[in-house]
Chains A and B, each alone.
Chain A
Amino acid sequence: MKIASTQLSGEYEKVLRREQRSFMTGNEVVAWAALAAGADLMYGYPITPQNEIMHYWARLAPHFGRGFLQTEDELSAGFAMLGGALVGKKTFSATAGPGNILMQEPIAMAEMMQIPGVWIIQQRGGPSTATVIYSQQELRLTATGGNGEGLRIVYSTASHQELFEYTIKAFNTAWRYRFPTFVLGDGYQAKMREAVTLFRPENRGWELVPAEPILCPPGVPARDRDPVHLRNTFNLEEELYTRLMDQLAAYERIAPEVTEWEAEVPPGPEVLIIAHGIVARAARQAKESLNRQGRKVGYFRPVTVRPFPGQALREIVAASPNLRLLVAESAYGQLLAMVKAELYGFTNPVDSLLKPGVGITAEEIAAAVGRPEGGEAVS
């Protein structure tokens, strides 16, 4: 009755290819997505609620010829990722909370040196150890953490199907543009179970961006090619300034290509609900139920929270002078601050439903929309 390892490998490959609905947790979905995306290696350190990403990756990776190393901490995991990416392999990690804090150090180096990498962040309660369960409190840290300018791309997902597709997309984005790329999930998405369709991206015509070695490309250095010498230390302010301004310009250039959002706005909207990630799911439900009651409520969801789809948001707000905004998030104003920054100069009132570290239901959002006129102005 023993099933040969090779047969097992074939069965796993079929799971990935057969395009059937599967009942899965979000963490598992990420592991399969990384396989589908052609990730070569995961370097990781245990922290709840992302552990099953490692568990399933460690279980499946050998059947797909991929590697895994459990490191001594997130610093090591992050820097090992960079080492692997530098020599031409697709590497990734997954972390949360205090692990995300430690991970900021290698991410800062990736940002400075434009080393590709994919990080899955399953947000947990904060600050400190807090809870292992859920929050949206790692938005700011993930989008703009580190001692720099936040030259990252962050996809905030809202369903298992999105976790699968945006994880694959994140690898493409990271290796195409060479900015650190994130899939920002949360503990609910990590552990929640729902149906999802796995697929081989190639079978849907999705091109997978290949990984090229930055260090140790073919050829004998100093004979066939110049040796590659990389550094993140600069001697002079001007040297750093020039380098950074080039990188910032590159980031600004690609931002319109990578920015994604969802918007559903009825004509003559009175309220626009703004939420990201899993809260956006509740926001959408609230919007639909309010629409059924005849309320002219719209919904806006940044899919990339960095770069933020500010232009799209401004266009909606500019088209409806009396629009009231309602920002809902499981954090105390992190998304709200981003929204306000993007809407500087507008005078529309802004309400908020801020519940750091706890979930938000559609009913709560609908109730918040229903509140009488009010809220502070954007600026």
Chain B
Amino acid sequence: MTENQKPVLQEPPVNTKMPRSWRKETKPHRFCPGCGHGIALKALGEVVDELGILDRVLYGCDIGCSLLSWDFFNFDSIQTHHGRTIPVIVGAKRARPELIGIAYMGDGGGYAIGAQHLVNAAQRGEKITVILANNTLYAMTGGQMAPTTLPGQKTGTTPYGREVAKTGLPMLGPELVAAIAPEGSYVARATVGEYQQLKKYLQKALLNQMTGGGFSFVEVLSTCPTNWRTNAKQTWAFLQGEMPRYFKVGEFRSAEVPSGEGEK
């Protein structure tokens, strides 16, 4: 992170037009200013538009801030329980394989309370797409430590900073999933700071499901200025500096890297 990089809010890396798959009636959306969810969901909306799959998407969102997207899109959606979005989408996809199942959640839902579902859905090669926003903490409940909280990072439940000796190192989700998912899986880590790459990864994750490839998982490094207590500049610095130092952005499993080597 260098001083001359510009904060994301000053120069949106995307066109300002709303994706067709966004539901205008529920905009402006309910996320905090500077929140990364809006960017991730914009990328998802544009990808759905480009793939022309609006009528086949079933979108599930978790508890935590992701639930605010329950009526975000023009496709059908359901807000589930904390950590349980993956099994709901798995159950629907198994029942109607022609649907395109998307499970959207945060790091608490995917890596803590619902970790068994992520692990087992990945291991079974469920033909769904899981998108997980990693903002290094529990946001909706007021900024507690998440599995992804960085060493030394202060949160509501780590007021003196995360102590690795007591609470371990941050969870590396894509690395975990890449290690266990069967052939044909797609696993990547994107960031809301690299919009075109984020879109590319989401597109590949959906295409992989559509072509029957298998489990598709994209972790998205995201921002939470509200709980980080950061201004735009500091937010950008954390997203582009601290986070990728620990969380490597890139593809971990894809047609190009089938064996699980990171791109970077």
Q: Do chains A and B touch in the complex (CB under 8 A)?
A: yes
* Chain A residues packing against B (C-beta within 8 Å): 40-41, 43, 67, 69, 71-73, 75-89, 91, 105-106, 109, 215-216, 219-222, 227-233
**Residue among A43, A76, A91, A220 with the most chain B CB within 10 A?**
A76
Instruction: Provide the residues of chain B in CB contact with A230, threshold 8 Å.
Output: 70, 77-79
C-alpha spacing A220/B52, complex, angstroms: 11
| Interface SS, A side | mixed
Q: Select from chain B the residue with minimum beta-carbon distance to A67.
A: B94
B-side interface residues, number (CB < 8 Å): 36
Number of A-B residue pairs with CB-CB distance less than 8 Å in the complex they form: 133
Q: Cβ of B131 < 8 Å from any Cβ of A?
A: no
B99 at the interface (CB under 8 A from A): yes
B81 at the interface (CB under 8 A from A): yes
Residues of B near any A CB (own CB < 8 A): 23, 54-56, 58, 60, 63, 67, 70-71, 73-81, 84, 86-96, 99, 116-117, 119-120
Q: Which residue of A lies closest to B72 (CB)?
A: A229
Question: A106-B84, A215-B78 given as contacts; is B95 within 8 A of A40 (CB)?
Answer: yes
Residue from A215, A229, A231 having most chain B Cβ neighbours under 10 A: A229
CB of A72 within 8 A of CB of B75, answer no
Q: Enumerate chain B residues within 8 angstroms of A85, measured Cβ to Cβ.
A: 91
Given the known interface contacts A80-B87, A109-B80, the answer about A87 and B73 at a Cβ–Cβ threshold of 8 Å is no
Establish whether residues A79 and B77, one from each chain, have CB atoms under 8 Å apart when the complex forms. Answer: no
Identify B91's interface contact among A83, A216, A221, A231, CB under 8 A.
A83
A317 and B192 CA atoms in complex are apart in Å by 69
Measured between alpha carbons, how far is A21 from B218 in the docked complex, in Å?
Answer: 54
Known: A75-B87, A222-B74, A233-B79. A80 touches B94 (CB 8 A): yes
What are 20 inter-chain pairs, A to B, with CB distance below 8 A? A40-B95, A43-B91, A69-B90, A72-B117, A73-B116, A76-B84, A78-B87, A79-B84, A79-B88, A79-B91, A82-B91, A83-B87, A83-B88, A89-B96, A91-B91, A221-B54, A227-B71, A229-B70, A231-B70, A233-B79
Please state if B77 and A84 are interface contacts (CB–CB under 8 Å): no
